[in-house]
Amino acid sequence: MLGSGGFSKRGDHGLKREVAIVAVGATRFGEHWSKGLKDLAWEAGVQAVEEAGISGRDIQYIVFGNMSGGMFEGQEHVGALVAEFLGLNPVPATRVEAACASGGVAFFQGYLAVASGMYDLVAVGGVEKMTDVEPGQATEILSAAMDYEWEAYFGATFPGVYALMATRYMHDYGLKPDTLAKVAVKNHYHGSMNPLAHFRNRITVEDVLSSPVVAHPLRRNDCCPVSDGAACVLLAPLDEARKYTDTPIIVKAVAQASDTLSLLERRDICTLNATVHAAEKAFAMAKLTRRDVDLVEVHDCFTIAEILALEDLGFCAKGAGFKLYEEGETYVGGRLPVNTDGGLKAGGHAVGATGVKQIVEIVKQLRGEAEGGRQVDGAEVGLAHNVGGSGATAVVTILSRR
Amino acid sequence: MGVSGVPRHWRSLRERYRLLGTYCENCGTSFFPPRKICPKCRRRGRTREVEFSGRGKVFSYTVIHVGSKTFEEYAPYVIGLVELEEGPRVLSQIVDCKPEEVHIGMEVEACFRKLFEQEDGGIISYGFKFRPVDDSWVEYYRKLLADKKVKAART
């Protein structure tokens, strides 16, 4: 399965030391009219720094995800900009971009920076300011995450490309719109318990099925919102983690994979190969099985994406993912709680921040600190799955309490 | 900004208009969009340009009701993933029929159409779309014109 793109020959992935998350911070995801990219990054960053009880000056490297400061705010070079605004010059600060997987890829880079032995304290973030442009403009900017030349140019939108997957999936596996709607209903239910969620209202299957069509068969309530937001985690070597926290969360694995930007050359458009490859690698690296995982955060930019993710991550067979929704097994208290913070659908999707926000939620759950009644009892191991575009980049991260 | 830009458009004029792809003589596979290297055969591959017939079947489709800024005025419109008879798939609009008539397996053929108009300067971009292979699109237009006449007569 792994083929090319495997690991180094040493067999232990060539890493020098284990890495832990020692602090987290996140803004609410939503419409922050009075805040820009810098303000949001500040808010999340300060929370993490205060939680760790350190000075910002202790941070040796900053790496964060941001999809398109250039198109959303007219500002590129945001790496150094954030370092400047946090008063941390001359600390090296890098912005990474992989569309909606920018945050996950930033986490991977931060992980490597600590695991390699180069840095002892790294801030990994994600930030996106999306609501300063009109909706049509936002749709256009987001469509740059897929193949611009062979998809967007012909009028495809981001929801449109996922709708192509949904149409085919319904045709091949018999998924019905009311089952698909249950993904959104569940995520809103979880979102209602999360004070940082974009939407905190509960919805019904009927609410989903009566919302306007965006790209048939996907309706407005099948789609995640456009959000402003930021998230941050601090990484340190495991053997130094107790300097900062009593409850370090161990990074068992991070794996990233790539696939074609467009759907054109994917023979099976109902499978995100990048997810399959990243998951195989991550489970091999963590030496864990699917049965060990207590909760997952998956990239539900659209309802269909959540079902595909559970299949591609290996939690169920292809074509069987939606059956978990017929029996409510993905709720907190179910067999496999999925997107306990409301996911992208209700939690919100500030694209470059999402991958880090997912990790923040897993950390809260593994510490036993998830508020509002959404805590998964005795959660030991959690998995985060972040996707860029329609699956050209996927990052799978496995975290553990011990 | 957006789905425009003249240099990009000029650079790819040929394959945009004529459905040109790549054929690997080593493994006999056709590719679209065009490639410099056969991903299967890597260096052993012998690639050459190939023009596709333009006939194919709808592999999947969607009806876009909320378009991006460039395409807002055309909504609702159908986007199809079309599997060409030579194997590769192309993403394009399905036109000359009602959206509710489009289905998986529907036989379609490429046609040359206007894609969109740039907001500033009014540069028009052309390219291929797909339409039903049978003559149903003739009837579709006949009815469309008749409806327009009825509307015009009423006002």
Mean pLDDT to the nearest integer, A266-286 = 97
Band of residue A1 on the pLDDT scale cut at 50, 70, 90: very low
With respect to residue B1, please indicate whether it lies within any of the assigned structural domains. Answer: no
Mean pLDDT to the nearest integer, B21-46 = 92
pLDDT for B4 equals 54
Say whether pLDDT at A13 is over 90. no
Say whether pLDDT at B155 is over 80. no
Chain segment A289-299, per-residue pLDDT in tens:
999 999 999 99
Band of residue A2 on the pLDDT scale cut at 50, 70, 90: very low
Angle at A73 between CA A71 and CA A78, to 5 degrees: 90
Say whether pLDDT at A217 is over 90. yes
Domain encompassing residue B72:
54-154
With respect to residue B103, please indicate whether it lies within any of the assigned structural domains. Answer: yes
| Catalytic residue list of A | 100, 349
Q: Hey, is the C-beta of B42 within 8 angstroms of any chain A C-beta?
A: no
Is B60 in Cβ contact with A167 (below 8 Å)?
A: yes
Interface predicted TM-score (ipTM) of this complex, two decimals: 0.92
Say whether pLDDT at A180 is over 50. yes
pLDDT for B9 equals 67
Give the closest-approach CA distance of A18 to chain B in angstroms: 36
pTM recorded for the entire structure: 0.94
Is A168 in Cβ contact with B62 (below 8 Å)?
A: no
Mean pLDDT to the nearest integer, B138-142 = 83
Nearest residue in A to B62, CA atom: A216
What span, in angstroms and rounded, lies between the C-alpha atoms of A338 and A332? 8
Q: How many CB pairs under 8 A join A and B?
A: 119
Q: In the structure encoding, which two tokens stand for residue A179, read together?
A: 């089952």
Band of residue A7 on the pLDDT scale cut at 50, 70, 90: confident
What span, in angstroms and rounded, lies between the C-alpha atoms of A268 and B98? 27
Q: SS3 for B29?
A: coil
Q: Find the range with the poorest average confidence among A107-121, A123-137, B117-131.
A: B117-131
Domain count for chain A, please give it: 1
Band of residue A12 on the pLDDT scale cut at 50, 70, 90: low
Is B90 in Cβ contact with A264 (below 8 Å)?
A: yes
Band of residue B147 on the pLDDT scale cut at 50, 70, 90: confident
Beta-sheet pairing, A295-297 with A229-237: unpaired
Residues 52 through 91 of chain B touching chain A, CB cutoff 8 Å? 59-72, 74, 77, 79, 81, 88-91
pLDDT > 90: percent of chain A? 92
Q: Which residue has the higher pLDDT, A327 or A242?
A: A242
Domain count for chain B, please give it: 1
Q: Which residues of B fall within a CB distance of 8 Å from A134? A: 69
CB atoms within 10 A of CB A315: 22
With respect to residue B80, please indicate whether it lies within any of the assigned structural domains. Answer: yes
- The CATH number that applies at residue A72 is 3.40.47.10
Averaged pLDDT score across all residues of chain A: 95
What are the residues of chain A with a beta carbon less than 8 Å away from any beta carbon of chain B? 71, 134-137, 139-140, 143, 148-157, 159-160, 163-168, 171, 212-218, 262-265, 269
Domain encompassing residue A357:
1-402
Say whether pLDDT at A8 is over 90. no
pLDDT for B135 equals 79
Say whether pLDDT at A167 is over 60. yes
Chain segment A363-391, per-residue pLDDT in tens:
999 999 999 999 999 999 999 999 999 99
Is A155 in Cβ contact with B60 (below 8 Å)?
A: no
Chain segment A48-72, per-residue pLDDT in tens:
999 999 999 999 999 999 999 999 9
Mean pLDDT to the nearest integer, A170-181 = 97
Within 8 A by CB and 6+ apart from A188, the residues are A199, A201, A202, A203, A342, A345, A346
Mean pLDDT to the nearest integer, B60-82 = 93
Say whether pLDDT at A306 is over 70. yes
Candidates A148, A164, A262; nearest CB to B62: A164
Say whether pLDDT at A199 is over 50. yes
Query: Phi and psi dihedrals of A24, rounded to 5?
Result: -135, 160
Band of residue A322 on the pLDDT scale cut at 50, 70, 90: very high
What span, in angstroms and rounded, lies between the C-alpha atoms of A366 and A47? 19
Is B81 in Cβ contact with A164 (below 8 Å)?
A: yes
Select from B68, B70, B92, B115 the residue whose CB has the most chain A CBs within 10 Å, as the one to mutate to test that interface.
Answer: B68
Chain segment A88-127, per-residue pLDDT in tens:
999 999 999 999 999 999 999 999 999 999 999 999 999 9
Chain segment B47-62, per-residue pLDDT in tens:
999 999 999 999 999 9
Angle at A76 between CA A74 and CA A77, to 5 degrees: 155
Candidates B67, B88, B104; nearest CB to A155: B67
pLDDT for B94 equals 97
pLDDT for A4 equals 53
Is B92 in Cβ contact with A269 (below 8 Å)?
A: no
With respect to residue B29, please indicate whether it lies within any of the assigned structural domains. Answer: no
Chain segment B3-20, per-residue pLDDT in tens:
556 666 667 677 778 899
Give the closest-approach CA distance of A349 to chain B in angstroms: 18
pLDDT > 70: percent of chain A? 97
**A319 backbone φψ class: left, alpha, beta (φ>0; ψ -120 to 50):** left
Chain segment A342-366, per-residue pLDDT in tens:
999 999 999 999 999 999 999 999 9
Q: Which residues of A fall within a CB distance of 8 Å from B71? A: 155, 157
Q: Hey, is the C-beta of B31 within 8 angstroms of any chain A C-beta?
A: yes
Q: Which residues of B fall within a CB distance of 8 Å from A160? A: 62, 64, 79
- The conformation of residue A200, written as its DSSP 8-state character, comes to -
Contact A87, A93 (CB under 8 A): no
Band of residue A11 on the pLDDT scale cut at 50, 70, 90: low
Is B63 in Cβ contact with A213 (below 8 Å)?
A: yes
Is A151 in Cβ contact with B61 (below 8 Å)?
A: no
